[in-house]
Each structure stands twice: as C-alpha cells, then as structure tokens.
C-alpha cells in the first residue's frame, strides 16, 4: 500500500496497543510533546502516533501496523540527526529509546546494544571492564544512527570508525520480518549497514567489537582567536606524525565560564585545541608536549575515564541546528587562513563550533570496502551551527555555506552524511560514491523495494 501522511484513528491505535509491550503515544497524550521533541529545535513535526517499542515483537507489530494502513514510517534512535528525519508529520514513529539494554561479553570483547541505546549507555557499561570502542563525541547520540552512518570519534585513529567494529545487526525489515546480518549471514545487507544508515530496516540490536582501554588523557588548550592560524598550522604538523593513540580537533567556540578559562576570554570567540591520548596521563603529556608548549592562554590537561570524556562536550538540547562538512585531501597554509577566518562569521556567543578534524591512522588504513569513501580524506572541516534566536537562522546557514565554499578548492567531494542536514540527492550519492551507491540501491531493492524507510539520507531502490 502507498504510504501517506494520514494519521491512525484512535480505534486503530487501540488495536495496536492490545498486543504491545511498550507504549503507544497519540497526540492527545500528555507526554506527546516530549515524545516528539528531537535535538534540533528547528524540527517541529507532529506524528500521528509514536510507538515506543520495548521488544523486537513491538517493532515488528509497529512496522506491520503502519504498512497495512499505508502510514509513513519514521525511525527514531537518539533523535540527534540534524535533518530531523526521526519524525514524520502524520504517520507513525517507531521510537526505539526504550530498547537501550547493553550486554557486555568481556571475554569475547563484544557488546550487544539495543537499537535505541545512546553512546552513554554503551560507554558506561563497557568501561567497567576496561574496554571501549569508537563512539561519537557526546554521550547522548544514538548508537544506531551513529554506527549505521559510519561513526567518527576520538578513538577512530586507534580503533577505526565505529562501523569497522560492527559485528552483527538484528533488523526488522520493511515486510516486518526479523533478520540478522553478519559477516556470514546476509553478507550483502551487512555490508550495506556499514554507512548506508536506516535505509534497510529498523536495527533492534547492534553487536560491536571492544578494545582494551584502561586510561585516557585529555588536553583542552585555549588561545585568543587571532593566534588561530599559527595554532592550526602547528596542530596540522603535529598530527601528521602523531601516533594512532592521538585524536583531537581544532574548535573555534564560545569560551565557557570554566575555572581553566581566563576571565577576559569567557563568552567570547576562542580558538581551542582538544587533544585526546588513549593512554595514561604521564605518557600522554609526553606525546602531546609539542602542542602543550605552544603558549596557550588557558586550558587543562588531565587523565580521566573515557566515559567522562565522552560526556564532557554534551551540547545542551533545545538549540536550532544547521550543520555541514567538507572533506579535504590537503590542508595547506592557504586553507588554514581561510578556515580560521571562517570563524569570524559564526554566531557568537552560542554553542556553535567551527571544527577541523584530522582523520588518518586506522581510519585511512582499513582495507574494508564499506560505503564510507570519506574515510580516505585526511581532514574534515565541520561548521556546526547551534543558536537560539530564529532571527539568526539565515546567518547560521550562510556561515556553513561560506565555509564550504572556502574549503572547496581542497575538497575530495566526499560527504559524511551523519555530519550534515538535508543537502539534496547529489550530496547523498556523494556520501557513498557512485559504485557503492549502485550496490546499495540493489540491496535496497531486495530488502525495501517500496522505499518504506525513506525518512533518512535516502537510497532509492535500484
């Protein structure tokens, strides 16, 4: 049946509720407003109902219910996708947040998480065993959307992208069938789930490889923005020869009111370097010495548990968001100057960040043929706009567009779709590369020929 934006009737919802372990929320329920809120405050959609699933059976029931009635389906994990595709107007949201269980197998060094678990659920559970895997850079991101889109984080140069650590996915398909994908089971589907996002079904669980990680070191160093070009060049040259244990970023940001920030900088634009070292503080200080000696005006260096690092940058929800990204094959001095001057147009003060990420290490070395071609780029520039006042909407969008324009001479043309909003079909295709896109479209034809799961960075059935 063709999908429409119509809403299920109260009678239909009563039918869905009869055999449902979780909770089905309709527009008249008091928690409807909370249930339809996502991270990006620009997204204001009113689903016909929100099925907060608790079991795989709930997910199967919700998908079949929607399909039988031709209702549009949205799939919600952590609600962090800035494009806001986790919600639909009318239709049915398959909300996975109650499916957040984490089962660690320390002996096998694996973890199996529910499709609605956040990075915080995962990191805290595995840390007690001295283990970790590549996660996003905040604790509130959904593991599902993050890993299925590729997954980039502080540990990636050591342990690879999050999808490189994906061992198995349990999925409910568009037909409402529960299937498993792993290296030896539905291997083509398994390949597609390494970057292809939510196109192929609802992931009810993901199993990931873990690695020993007993200690973590963080350095957060601040400068006046005018020092930016010198700092960025030094960061670029440092990372070029740094060991895989080093992760990090240059971030132009509004300096927060923290004890390690000099008073005159608080509330103003600052140039920050965040460095992580996957190891103890003493060794970390030694490895990071070239950057620590660069004359920062504020900052801190500390050893800390990995899960604490992961929640340190948790952005407050409720802001308006517009993000983009450009992946670069080179970052010469001219690009450094343009990157730094791009910060001048940012909405400040705000939680916005103008970010330069280094890749390399295990990210670049992987021989896997997954549909994440952006992994080969050594640099990513990521304008990440968060602001409060709708009057700044145009300015924030224009800033992200201008940053991309500035970086285009060095762009590989690759796109990491988790880092952008809705930028059209060409950018989606560029997210995978032409050959991968064709192969993904063939997998889509097999598992979702009617494009039931189209509220995502959509791959049309080939």
Ligand X SMILES: Cc1cc2nc3c(=O)[nH]c(=O)nc-3n(C[C@H](O)[C@H](O)[C@H](O)COP(=O)(O)OP(=O)(O)OC[C@H]3O[C@@H](n4cnc5c(N)ncnc54)[C@H](O)[C@@H]3O)c2cc1C
Would you tell me which residues interact with ligand X (CB under 6 A)? 39, 75-81, 85-86, 96, 115, 136-138, 141-142, 144-146, 148-149, 151-153, 197-198, 202-203, 315, 418, 455-456
Tell me how far apart the alpha carbons of residues 441 and 218 are, in angstroms, rounded to a whole number: 41
**Tokens of residue 245, six digits:** 């244990």
E-assigned strand segments in 304-396: 320-323, 326-328, 353-358, 379-387
Q: How far is the CB of 214 from ligand X (least distance, A)?
A: 22
Of the two residues 245 and 448, which places its CB atom closer to ligand X in the complex? 448
Residue (8 or 151) nearer to ligand X, CB: 151
Residues 6+ apart with CB under 8 A from 378: 328, 329, 330, 331, 358, 359, 360, 364
Residue 137 phi/psi, 5° resolution? -100, 10
Between residues 148 and 255, which has the closer beta carbon with respect to ligand X? 148
Are the C-beta atoms of residues 261 and 246 closer than 8 Å to each other? Answer: no
Least Å distance, CB 76 to ligand X, is 4
20 three-state secondary structure = coil
- Judged by beta carbon, residue 53 or residue 261, the one nearer ligand X is 53
CB of 125 to ligand X, least distance (A): 17
Question: Min. distance of Cβ 150 from ligand X in angstroms?
Answer: 6
CB of residue 321 to ligand X, shortest distance in Å: 7
**Euclidean distance between CA atoms 285 and 215, whole angstroms:** 13
Question: In angstroms, what is the minimal distance from the CB of 138 to ligand X?
Answer: 4
CB-based closest residue to ligand X: 145
21, 44, 183, 206, 342 from 171: Cα distances, Å: 18, 28, 15, 9, 42
Q: Which lies closer to ligand X via its Cβ, residue 265 or residue 273?
A: 273
For residues 194 and 151, what is the distance between their CA atoms, to the nearest angstrom? 9
| Nearer to ligand X (CB atom), residue 81 or residue 160 | 81
CA distance 72 to 315: 30
């Amino acid at each position: 049946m063709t999908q429409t934006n119509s809403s299920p009737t109260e009678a239909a919802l009563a039918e869905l509720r009869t055999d449902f372990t979780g909770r089905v929320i309709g527009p008249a329920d008091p928690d409807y407003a909370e249930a339809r809120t996502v991270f990006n405050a620009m997204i204001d959609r009113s689903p016909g109902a929100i099925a907060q699933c608790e079991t795989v059976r709930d997910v199967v029931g919700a998908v079949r219910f929607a399909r039988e009635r031709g209702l549009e389906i949205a799939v919600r994990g952590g609600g962090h996708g800035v494009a806001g595709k986790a919600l639909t107007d009318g239709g049915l949201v398959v909300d996975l947040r109650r499916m957040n269980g984490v089962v660690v197998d320390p002996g096998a060094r694996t973890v199996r998480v529910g499709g609605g678990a956040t990075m915080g659920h995962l990191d805290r559970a595995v840390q007690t065993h001295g283990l970790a895997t590549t996660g996003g850079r905040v604790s509130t991101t959904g593991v599902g959307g993050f890993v299925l889109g590729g997954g980039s984080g502080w540990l990636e140069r050591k342990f690879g992208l999050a999808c490189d650590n994906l061992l198995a996915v349990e999925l409910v398909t568009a037909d409402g069938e529960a299937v498993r994908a792993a290296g030896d089971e539905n291997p083509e589907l398994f390949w597609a789930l390494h970057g292809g996002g939510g196109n192929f079904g609802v992931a009810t669980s993901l199993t990931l490889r873990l690695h020993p990680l007993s200690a973590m070191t963080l350095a957060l160093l601040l400068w006046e923005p005018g020092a930016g070009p010198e700092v960025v060049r030094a960061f670029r040259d440092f990372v070029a020869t740094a060991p895989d244990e080093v992760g990090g970023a240059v971030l132009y940001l509004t300096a927060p009111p923290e004890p390690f920030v000099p008073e005159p900088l608080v509330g103003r634009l600052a140039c920050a370097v965040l460095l992580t070292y996957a190891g103890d503080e003493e060794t970390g200080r030694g490895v990071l010495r070239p950057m620590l000696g660069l004359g920062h005006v504020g900052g801190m260096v500390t050893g800390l548990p990995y899960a604490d690092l992961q929640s340190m940058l948790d952005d407050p929800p409720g802001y308006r968001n517009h993000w983009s990204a450009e992946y670069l094959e080179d970052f010469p001095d001219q690009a450094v100057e343009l990157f730094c001057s791009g910060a001048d147009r940012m909405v400040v003060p705000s939680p916005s960040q103008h970010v330069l990420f280094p890749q390399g290490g295990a990210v670049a070395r992987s021989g896997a043929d997954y549909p994440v071609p952006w992994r080969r780029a050594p640099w990513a520039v990521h304008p990440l706009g968060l602001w409060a006042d709708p009057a700044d909407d145009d300015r924030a969008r224009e800033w992200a567009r201008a940053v991309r324009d500035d970086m285009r001479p060095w762009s590989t043309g690759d796109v990491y779709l988790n880092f952008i909003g809705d930028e059209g079909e060409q950018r989606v295709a560029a997210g995978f590369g032409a050959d991968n896109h064709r192969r993904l479209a063939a997998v889509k034809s097999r598992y979702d020929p009617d494009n039931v799961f189209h509220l995502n960075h959509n791959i049309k059935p080939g």
